[in-house]
Amino acid sequence: MPQPFITLIDGSKIPQIGLGTYQAAADRTAKMVETALGIGYRHIDTAMIYRNEAGVGDGLRASGVPREDVYITTKLWNTDQGGEAARTAFNTSLDLLKLDYVDLYLIHWPVPARDLYVESWETLIQLRDEGLARAIGVSNFMPDQIDRLIETTGVVPAVNQIECHPAFQQLSARAENARRKVAVQSWSPLGQGELLGNTVLRTLAEKHDRTVAQIILRWHVQNDLIVIPKTVNEDRMRENLDILAFTLDTDDLAKIATLDDPEGRMGPDPLTFE
């Protein structure tokens, strides 16, 4: 089945299902990425802080899949924010990936305490204009921080990658991003694996003869979210990609809505994280 794409505000397209690589060991990442691309993944999410960009690039080349057919995202780490510092960090990422460009470059966290995200954004705009980052966006940004970027530069981030899963559904953040035409990517879409034993989701899995992971990922896709589940396991990679041949109905979606918990955040709070 052909993979779905989401069209971003800049007119570019991103594959809606990708592979996350956080906590993928550096020496295993190349094989992981090669395997995923062999199965049919066309979107890989990495970051400078994951220390596995070199493996992502090596896996891409080992796969034999043409560069232009694969969507690669990487991210600017917190301590590299600033004007020149952001450019230096970006160049390091490109060197590690051994690529001429990335498809998407994100500011990983806003780090309001340092207040360098506007300067960083100005550098990302230059990188985009130079063709080195085909699209640019942010991660873990609040609506007012996005507004500040837009007011200062006139450039709307193409995506905002935020924590989102059935236990932390981010309804307000999703609506605010949609209002600004910022596409939302869900990080930790499976709740870091912790939601896989949930009884409501297990009932839905039985009903559809699918796994819990597939029910959760289908929920993201039906909500127009871009998902990047991470797994190093080939069978799970296949499972996580195979979510297009069934549909959750209104009743299923209502059941998943009951799992939302304002306290359900599993990762750091973007307002304080440095």
Ligand X SMILES: NC(=O)c1ccc[n+]([C@@H]2O[C@H](COP(=O)([O-])OP(=O)(O)OC[C@H]3O[C@@H](n4cnc5c(N)ncnc54)[C@H](OP(=O)(O)O)[C@@H]3O)[C@@H](O)[C@H]2O)c1
Beta bridge partners of 71: 43
Q: How many residues bind ligand X (CB under 6 A)?
A: 27
Q: Check binding of 231 to ligand X (CB under 6 A).
A: yes
Least CB distance from residue 250 to ligand X, whole Å? 25
Would you say 27 or 84 has its CB closer to ligand X? 27
Would you say 33 or 130 has its CB closer to ligand X? 33
Q: Check: CB of residue 175 under 8 Å from CB of residue 168.
A: no
Of 42, 69, 66, 262, nearest in space to 171 by CA? 262
Would you say 22 or 101 has its CB closer to ligand X? 22
Residue 48 to residues 21, 248, 262, Cα–Cα distance (Å):
11, 36, 30
- Residue choice 15, 20, 55, 110 for contact with ligand X (CB under 6 A): 20
Residue 45 to residues 82, 145, 157, 240, Cα–Cα distance (Å):
22, 23, 17, 15
Q: Check: CB of residue 186 under 8 Å from CB of residue 164.
A: yes
- Residue choice 119, 122, 234, 239 for contact with ligand X (CB under 6 A): 239
Q: Check binding of 232 to ligand X (CB under 6 A).
A: yes
Pick the piece of the chain touching ligand X (CB under 6 A) from 34-42, 92-100, 151-159, 229-237. Answer: 229-237
- Residue choice 70, 99, 190, 248 for contact with ligand X (CB under 6 A): 190
- CA–CA distance, 41 with 34 (Å, rounded to integer): 10
Q: Check binding of 168 to ligand X (CB under 6 A).
A: no
- CA–CA distance, 118 with 155 (Å, rounded to integer): 11
In the set 22, 41, 50, 117, the catalytic residue is 50
Residue 238 to residues 18, 81, 102, 243, 256, Cα–Cα distance (Å):
12, 36, 25, 9, 23
50: annotated active-site residue: yes
Q: Tokens 């796969």 correspond to what residue? A: 63
Q: Check binding of 188 to ligand X (CB under 6 A).
A: yes
- Residue choice 67, 115, 153, 267 for contact with ligand X (CB under 6 A): 267
- Residue choice 63, 78, 120, 161 for contact with ligand X (CB under 6 A): 161
Q: Check binding of 196 to ligand X (CB under 6 A).
A: yes
Q: Interface residues with ligand X (CB under 6 A)?
A: 20-22, 45, 108, 139-140, 161, 187-193, 196, 213, 228-233, 236, 239-240, 267
